[in-house]
Amino acid sequence: MKFPALCFFLLLCIQLAAQPPIADWTFQPDYRLPGRAANYPGPRLDAPRSNIGTVGVLSYPFLFKEQEPTERFVNVLPQADMPEGAFSVEMWLVNHVNQPIGALAAIKSRDINEPPAWLLGYYGNQIVFSMHGLGEPFSQLLEATISRGFKKYWLHIVATYDGHTARLYFNGKLMKEMDIPQRAPLPEHAEMELAAYLKNEPYMELANLLKGFRLYDHALTEGQVGQHLEAYEQMVEQGRLFPGIFHFTAGPYLHYVTPGSINISWESSLRARKAVLKYGTSLPLSQQTTIDASEKPEIDEGHFIEAVTLDGLAPATPYFYELLLTDEHGKTISSGTLTFATAPAEDVPFSFAVIGDTEARPHINFQVSKLIWDERPNFLLNLGDLTDGGMEHHKFEWPYEYFTGITALSSRIPVFPVAGNGEADLYWYKRYHKLPDPEAYYNFRYGNAEFFMLDSNREDDFAPGGEQYEWLEAQLKVSTARWKFVCHHHAPYSSDEDDYGDSWAGPSSQGSPGVRQIVPLYEKYGVDIVLFGHLHTYQRTLPILDNIVDKRNGVIYLQGGGGGGNLEDFAPTRAWFSAKTYRGHHYFTVSVEGDELQLRMFDTEGRMRDFLTIQK
């Protein structure tokens, strides 16, 4: 943190300490795998939970924009703590999905006939604040239409009442105000509720939308509202998930495994003075490596990313590991005990999972992760667009979205990624991954298969004479693998409805002409399957050779862009190469045993939607 930012943060802490909020809650999904793999790395701040006792009756819910809540936290604050005079309510939200969703906070009576004392809500592009004035039969309402927030997706909503005027702010700007000479007394049996309205986003939780909530017993000034917004923005810029505690902001997570080594990376909210990575084939852990990070420079202002390669490992062997970080004040945090397995050194059966376009839906990423974990694959391929646009200026998309949704799985199953257009500048992609040079593209061997991982953001490289074209041909020429897979982000063949020409208005090129320039290499050197994402649907092609179907010698193209991005659709008429299409979030697995390969594709409920067996 640079000196001016540090000074501002300290001043804000002093101000909050002088006039502390009654409630100050941070929300972050608590994503853990089931059973004995349940683990959340390091400390966290827990959000409030409903207080209804062993047996209780829920009060009536609010309908908001004609929707019932999908999640409710009721009776989260004792009535004795509820302000009866001036007050302020503050919400910090992130909305990075393309469906209307909302959240609401209120103090209300358990009597359905009595209006709420106050209510602050957000839905779609609207914010509302209502108060019950003394002598008024109904609540009085402020409502405003809002536009994009901080970094496009972050929303700061504040409502204040100073004893005579109610005000509604959005991202530091006063939107509406109204006079209320005196507020009505609190209901006799008042309760505070937080609710989510997320029916348009399956698996989404309130903690995916609402990131911070505060309630004060005084009215914030416009200047204080602006200061609080700046402090929240600073947290987002630095990728800190929780204020005031030393914690993991990414990982630990596994990538690039070999028979004798594995890469383990992580990021912390503060500089770690020392990192100790313990590991071994049984508990208690008998080996360790130590990193003195006290002299290491920051990756960027306030960003502390580290990576270790564990080598000298035994092939095809399960390991346990634990990461401990100690900060400059002597505080130590632990990842908990986690697991991984090294790659086999010989031709043994193996299985891998495939996802693509994880983008901005950690709730979908995690739902898919749980299903993938049940299958215990050897590794995971991510076909690009790990983030929706997590380039240098949008770093927050990595800790708040990608690592939030994928860490539970990637802390136990190693990931091999390719870059999508969402991380096309490679700025954070390279910092978060330790891959073979030149990192933008690489290859690896696993069992009797070889994988060639390309960066299709650089279409010039895919033309004859291009850098990746020449590199791939050289690698394919010497490959002795029984199975050959190529992975990149963009589509050589696809029947998407409008990415390659609006198929509802005219012809489509049915794939990227630039990417298709490299297809002759796939055909010449016997590539079996090409995997890609970019289009947020699933499609499997028939085997293709020389732009026609050839079931004996053709290459199969698998489009797997259903890991979390906004769903897309297909052209209105069937493509000549199409074998199977599916519109929905999904993942698939590939199992290789000698000369046989089996593909299975599943939706987010674990239902199999496609199956294919290939015999060599």
- pLDDT averaged per 10 residues, the chain (length 616): 43 58 97 97 92 74 94 94 96 95 95 92 96 88 93 97 97 96 92 97 98 98 97 95 96 97 96 94 96 64 85 97 94 98 93 98 98 98 97 96 98 98 97 94 97 97 97 98 98 96 95 97 98 98 97 97 97 97 98 97 98 96
Residues linked to residue 213 through DSSP beta bridges, in sequence order: 25, 91
Residue 4 confidence (pLDDT): 41
Residue 5 confidence (pLDDT): 42
Q: In this structure, what DSSP letter does residue 384 have? A: S
Burial class (CB in 10 A: 0-12, 13-18, 19+), 551: exposed
Backbone phi, psi, residue 401, to 5°: -120, -65
Question: Are the C-beta atoms of 563 and 359 separated by less than 8 Å?
Answer: yes
Q: What are 601's two structure tokens?
A: 């594709």
Q: What angle do CA 492, 494, 498 make, to 5 degrees?
A: 115
Rounded to the nearest angstrom, the gap between the alpha carbon of residue 486 and the centroid of all alpha carbons in its chain is 25
Q: Is residue 13 within a helix (H) or strand (E), and if so which, with residue range?
A: helix 3-18
Whether the domain at 239-344 and the domain at 347-615 fall into the same CATH topology: no
User: What's the first-to-final CA gap in the chain, in angstroms?
Assistant: 57
Question: Are the C-beta atoms of 274 and 295 separated by less than 8 Å?
Answer: no
Residues linked to residue 123 through DSSP beta bridges, in sequence order: 102, 126
Q: d(Cα 200, Cα 434) in Å, to the nearest integer? A: 37
User: What architecture does CATH give domain 15-35+65-238?
Assistant: Sandwich (2.60)
Q: Is residue 177 within a helix (H) or strand (E), and if so which, with residue range?
A: strand 173-179
* Fold classification of 239-344 (topology level): Immunoglobulin-like (2.60.40)
Question: Are the C-beta atoms of 587 and 353 separated by less than 8 Å?
Answer: yes
Neighbours of 467 (CB within 10 A): 16
Would you list the domain boundaries of the chain?
Answer: 15-35+65-238, 239-344, 347-615
pTM for the model? 0.94
Of 272, 224, 231, 241, which is closest to residue 7 (Cα–Cα)? 231
* Fold classification of 347-615 (topology level): Purple Acid Phosphatase; chain A, domain 2 (3.60.21)
Q: What is the three-class DSSP state of 419?
A: coil
Backbone phi, psi, residue 60, to 5°: -70, 145
Question: Are the C-beta atoms of 355 and 569 separated by less than 8 Å?
Answer: no
Q: What is the three-class DSSP state of 115?
A: coil
Q: d(Cα 202, Cα 70) in Å, to the nearest integer? A: 10
Q: d(Cα 519, Cα 527) in Å, to the nearest integer? A: 10
Percent of the chain as helix, strand, coil, to the nearest 5: 20, 35, 45
